[in-house]
Structure 1
Amino acid sequence: MRVGFVTIGQSPRVDVFNDIKHLLPKDIEIVEKGALDNYTEEEINKKLKPRKNETTYITKLKNGKEVKISKNKVVKLLKDVIKELNKEGVDLIVILCTGSFPRFASEVPVIYPYKLLEGFVSALNPRVLGVLAPAQEQINYLTRRWLKKCPKVVVEAISPYTSDLKDFLNVGKRLAEEGVKVVVMDCIGYSISQAQVIKASLGEDSLVLNPRLALVTFIRALTFFSS
């Protein structure tokens, strides 16, 4: 099975696949593409930066730098990338971003991680939900989004790309003080090791939803009967 993985930043996403490649089914062929692959850093900063009142998405460039881009502008770029992957004959497409997106035209199934996370939270039905946001600019947006799934939401902003594990430990402690037992890490940039730190700071009875692990679990389920 050929699986197209689409980042809203630049490919390859070495950070993501170093974390999950050993967990993915051994027989899948990984095809990576990025919405910003044809843009220089200067062009990104000039053309794709979010304006006031535009939804901000956070991603990573090939050089490892974090970058903030406009959701509306990246949606148009993603449409083209998904068309390319369809022409290349992939069997499945995975969006490497937990942000919400419209349904893209595609002849093959497209996995949207935000729908996976929302499904997990709906199934768990927590009284209080902790949410990790990759930037301060996303706090209000993510609060509104997750209040549709839970009556009380506590959002903490912490970058998956520039924060160290001690920062995650402190965030976990603050969430614990708010009575949080279920946490959604709302960015594909959050690593498994960062999730482990949050889990340790909240206690053994806590549940931490890491989008990388959610994707791996879903892909393994979809390919379970594949030859």
Structure 2
Amino acid sequence: MARTRIAGITVGQAPRTDMTADLESRLAPTLELVQYGALDDLTASEVERDLAPEPGDEVLVSRMRDGSQVTFSGTKVLPLVQARIDQAEREGARAIIVLCTGSFPEMRHEVPLVYPQPLFHAVARTLASGRRVAVMVPEPSQVEQAKTWWGDHGVEVDVVSASPYAGIDGVRKTAATLRGSSDAFLCLDCMGFTTQMRDAAREASGLDVLLPRTLVASVVSELLG
């Protein structure tokens, strides 16, 4: 029996081999994940040259195909994301997941288009019941924008930073600084964080942990699986 095609669009390069197993573990066996990358046609040097954040731009962090990290403007990458949405729909996707917890405007689409950020924030707000939550973002330059985004969705946050693309040890070390805090739980605020990092952060911080990649895959599986 043919499986239903689900598109995963990373703002970096596809395939996101660091993400595939965690996503597929939450998808129903009737669903097939096909990945697309906004930066697939660019080199790292071209990303630095053409997509560098301007003052006031949203800062996004993602992964290139070779595993290296890149930082770029959320505004400048939008046309590339839209091109991949259009391609995924032409190729038969029944739903599309944008594999980034950044803030996105409404984009052109015909099938369900799932942005992790509003879903992630809504679940966290409900679970927190007015308490402050800890949030981990990849880069120090993202701390203030994270406070703004979460605050706009009604969640008080304590923000720390550690890149998922620099390995699990940094995640564990930063999570340990939250041990003994009064935060309700910890949100790993990037689709780059893995289930192994979630488990390490939980052990190091003593907090429960919410991971966006498995959350969003579970929701899509419930919808179409």
TM-score (norm 2): 0.92
Counterpart-to-counterpart distance in 2, 1:2 and 1:152: 37
Counterpart-to-counterpart distance in 1, 2:140 and 2:12: 19
Contact 1:126–1:182 under 8 Å retained in 2:
no
Counterpart-to-counterpart distance in 2, 1:83 and 1:178: 44
2:76 equivalent to 1:76: no
Amino acid at match of 2:72: I
Amino acid at match of 1:156: V
Counterpart-to-counterpart distance in 1, 2:221 and 2:53: 35
Aligned to 1:142: 146
Aligned to 2:158: 154
| Unmatched runs of 5 consecutive residues or more in structure 2 | none
Counterpart-to-counterpart distance in 2, 1:50 and 1:142: 16
Counterpart-to-counterpart distance in 2, 1:87 and 1:201: 45
Aligned to 2:40: 37
Aligned to 2:53: 50
| Unmatched runs of 5 consecutive residues or more in structure 1 | none
Counterpart-to-counterpart distance in 1, 2:37 and 2:172: 31
Contact 1:121–1:149 under 8 Å retained in 2:
no
SS of structure 1 residue aligned to 2:179: helix
Contact 1:8–1:59 under 8 Å retained in 2:
yes
Q: Deviations over 1:154-212 (max 9, x none)?
A: 100100010333x3233222222332231111100000111111112233xx4311011
Contact 2:177–2:205 under 8 Å retained in 1:
no
Aligned to 2:134: 130
Contact 1:129–1:150 under 8 Å retained in 2:
no
SS of structure 2 residue aligned to 1:118: helix
Contact 2:131–2:156 under 8 Å retained in 1:
yes
Q: Deviations over 1:132-154 (max 9, x none)?
A: 01101100100111123456421
How many residues are paired up?
221
Counterpart-to-counterpart distance in 2, 1:65 and 1:40: 11
Counterpart-to-counterpart distance in 2, 1:159 and 1:202: 16
Amino acid at match of 1:137: S
Counterpart-to-counterpart distance in 2, 1:92 and 1:143: 30
Taking a change above 3 Å as real, the CA distance of residues 151 and 108 of structure 1, as seen in their structure-2 partners, is closer
Structure possessing the higher relative contact order (Cα contacts under 8 Å, 6 or more residues apart):
2
SS of structure 2 residue aligned to 1:161: helix
User: How far did residue 112 of structure 1 move?
Assistant: 0.5
Bigger Cα displacement from structure 2, 71-80 vs 169-178: 169-178
User: How far did residue 74 of structure 1 move?
Assistant: 0.8
